[in-house]
Structure 1
Amino acid sequence: MDIRKLDRAAVLETVRLLEESDPRDWDLPTPCADWTLRQLVSHMAGQHHGFAAAAAGNGADASVWQPGALGDEPLKSYRAAAEAVLDAFAPQSVLTREFALPEISDTITFPASVAIGFHFLDYVVHGWDLARALGTSPDLDDEITEAALVFALRVPDDERRLGPAAPFRPALLAPPRADTLELVLTTLGRSPGWSAPARP
């Protein structure tokens, strides 16, 4: 399993979804409580820049993890952030590095394959967030969703999911005959049945 290949596919799917959106969509609600589409994408852009900095050895600087300023061209800004992290992960040598990820731990670093796995899981889930906000579904193949489930099952389901800034919520009961992506979502506390309110 090449985690960089899987991560690239998940990230590019988020770009595709946003490229098919409408400028009026940026104020839509998302499955991330209290975040509009713009706020979610700002967070996603910031995480891309943070992981790119971590790949270069600069992840311990908390300022690199701030939400990205999308400006007047949010799609262009997000695409640039996505390209930055994919470029940062592209060299084969990145797999020998240790990543500082202060939002996860300020005392240890993480092997590249683990850190990129965190990023991959985030963008599978955030791709679903984007898709649901836009009233559609992400286009993710079985290899991606099955790998995401492996990573999701490794995320501790403990008190760390209860804080207001927790990226994931306590696990939910999966619906009958849930598919793999639905198992990823419920494992991380998202309801596969979430849908945006009807547009005016």
Structure 2
Amino acid sequence: MTGLVDLDRRAVEAGVQLVAAVTGDLARPTPCAGWTLGRLLAHMAGQHRGFAAAARGGGADLAVWADLPVDGDPAQGYAKAAAEALTAFAEPGAPERRWALPEVHPTFGFPGTTALGFHLLDYVVHGWDVAESLGTAVEFDDEVLGAALAVAERVPDGPERLAPGAAFRPALPAPGAAGPLERILAATGRSPAWRA
């Protein structure tokens, strides 16, 4: 369990480093259809806050999952939200609790390790989204990618992925010689060939 907390931390910290380079132009397009970079960062910051609340037993309130705009100082606002999540995840007993994730299921409490896996996958994928929006690259180590790929391959790929607000689009075929990150992207409905 401690290993999953550490893997998630490494994924989140890679994203924080990317966002540190954001100094303006929050209107840039992203691989998230219809979302600007500002909208994506607000979503990511809000999800950090929601997952932090879930780790502490307060995730059932949908209000804690609302987008958290970081317009004034994107790097600082985003880093603060990420730190809140990482602190909550590292608290004693957090991975052993059941976490309420109302955006995934309105009443079911997820094992903390399952919820951490969701968070890890989200921030690997969204890290790539931010990097593509900025025209740069993001690097995750092999252990982080392996864990995120294992989660991505377990996410059901059914008609619910076409519903409004679905976390992922229908899976795409992965390129023949795809590496772990490309396979994660394809499994979550993103084209590794996307460019701004």
TM-score, normalised by the number of residues in structure 2: 0.96
What is residue 57 of structure 2 aligned with on the other side?
57
CA distance in 1, matches of 2:53, 2:92: 16
SS of alignment partner, residue 26 of structure 1:
coil
SS of alignment partner, residue 110 of structure 1:
strand
Q: What are structure 1's unaligned runs of at least 5 residues?
A: none
CA distance in 2, matches of 1:161, 1:124: 19
CA distance in 2, matches of 1:91, 1:62: 22
SS of alignment partner, residue 12 of structure 1:
helix
Q: What are structure 2's unaligned runs of at least 5 residues?
A: none
Match runs of 1:171-186 below 5 Å = 171-186=171-186
Letter in 1 for 2:162: L
SS of alignment partner, residue 99 of structure 2:
strand
SS of alignment partner, residue 99 of structure 1:
strand
Offset of residue 59 of structure 1: 0.4
Number of aligned positions between the proteins: 195
Q: List per-residue Cα deviations over 1:169-188 (Å, max 9, x = no partner).
A: 11101112111100011011
CA distance in 2, matches of 1:122, 1:24: 24
What is residue 147 of structure 1 aligned with on the other side?
147
Q: List per-residue Cα deviations over 1:73-112 (Å, max 9, x = no partner).
A: 1221111100000000012311221100000011210111
Letter in 2 for 1:137: A
Please say if residues 131 and 138 of structure 1, whose CA atoms lie closer than 8 Å, have aligned partners that are also in contact. yes
What is residue 107 of structure 1 aligned with on the other side?
107
Match runs of 1:17-166 below 5 Å = 17-21=18-22, 23-166=23-166
Instruction: Give the percent of matched residue pairs that are identical in Structure 1 and Structure 2.
Output: 52
SS of alignment partner, residue 93 of structure 2:
helix
Task: Give runs of ≥4 in structure 1 deviating > 4 Å.
Answer: none
Please say if residues 25 and 134 of structure 1, whose CA atoms lie closer than 8 Å, have aligned partners that are also in contact. no
SS of alignment partner, residue 174 of structure 2:
coil
SS of alignment partner, residue 26 of structure 2:
helix
CA distance in 2, matches of 1:124, 1:5: 14
CA distance in 1, matches of 2:31, 2:25: 14
Offset of residue 71 of structure 1: 4.0
Letter in 1 for 2:33: A
- Root mean square deviation, CA, Å: 1.1
SS of alignment partner, residue 164 of structure 1:
coil
